[in-house]
Amino acid sequence: MASQTDIDYSYTTMDKIWRISVGEMADFTGAKYDGDFSISLEEAQRRKHDFIAQNLNITAGSKVLDMGCGWGPFLNYLRGIKAKGIGLTLSKGQHAACQRQGFEVYIQDCRTVKPSDYGMFDAVASVGAFEHFCSVEDYQAGRQDEVYRKFFKTVSDLLPVGGRCFIQTMVFGKDMIDLKDFDIDAPKESNEYLMALTMNEFPGSWLPYGKEQIIKNAEPFFDVVTYHSGRLDYIETINVWRQRLKSFGWQKYLAYLTLAPALLYDSKMRNRLSNLQIAPIRVAFERQLWDHYRLVFEKK
């Protein structure tokens, strides 16, 4: 699994800049445009929340666990429909942001939650955290399936029979290259360089190989109800994020300045600037090195 330091690197360092750019409780994951790019980012995120609630049969009074809750966008949706949400995150910055909004959120590895921690749930949602559950070392040691199987066992223990779980995650796509070929010194337009940049943005994380690897490891505990790719929707989400990150604002530009010292002594941070220029994740989606899935499961 990505360590807490890795997660803080990915999510806490740029936390303030993101919140100023996209909103205090914004989603930090692909929105659900369903191919209709005339709607706003916020409408598309709302569509995603509606989809999750409908497919998990969440109504007023439902008790829902949000595994990897970010700044609390889905917890906020749950509050709006009078359901009870509990969120888990590994990012200190996100935890602090959620506490400011009055959400019930804990810093805890969601892969280890037990019924004795917060009781049983009517539904479990995890939007954009599954990406971080398997580390590169787990993958290299041949433990990736085991990591996912254990995760689904954890979720299954928290739900009654017939209870549902939603997973949204990036996955490796049909044209993914081998880890041994990743190379930060390769030509800038190459897949080898691109993939090295993604490791820079999400250190310690290794993606599942397609929806198939997820479904296979859920299978001992869950039936799959429905799934679809959100790859093109994610490309649009990243396009809108980039416009908002660049648009001028004094507060935001001052927040960028606070990163200047780190740029002097931290080569990883300098590489991250390349990430801002190139948007490797968007290009990975465009080249189908990566794909993106939303899946609904029902406990057997």
Give the integer Cα–Cα distance in Å for 129 and 127. 6
DSSP state of 149: H
Q: How far is the CB of 26 from ligand SAM (least distance, A)?
A: 7
Between 11 and 182, CB nearer to ligand SAM? 11
CA separation, residue 237 to residues 135, 187, 220, 233 (Å): 26, 27, 34, 6
Interatomic CA distance for residues 116 and 5, integer angstroms: 27
Considering beta carbons, is residue 110 or 289 the nearer one to ligand SAM? 110
Residue 148 and residue 269 in contact, taking contact as beta carbons nearer than 8 Å: no
The nearest distance, CB 95 to ligand SAM, in angstroms, is 8
Q: How far is the CB of 84 from ligand SAM (least distance, A)?
A: 17
Nearer residue to ligand SAM within complex by CB, 1 or 171: 1
Cβ–Cβ < 8 Å for 189, 199: no
Q: State the Cα–Cα distance between residues 144 and 57, nearest whole angstrom.
A: 30
Residues 6+ apart with CB under 8 A from 100: none
Amino acid at 77: Y
Nearer to ligand SAM, 7 or 295 (CB): 7
User: Closer to ligand SAM at the Cβ: 37 or 106?
Assistant: 106
Q: How far is the CB of 185 from ligand SAM (least distance, A)?
A: 28
CB of 180 to ligand SAM, least distance (A): 25
Q: Using CB under 6 A as the criterion, which residues of the chain lie in contact with ligand SAM when the complex forms? A: 1, 7, 11, 27-29, 68-70, 73, 88-91, 94, 109-111, 127-129, 132
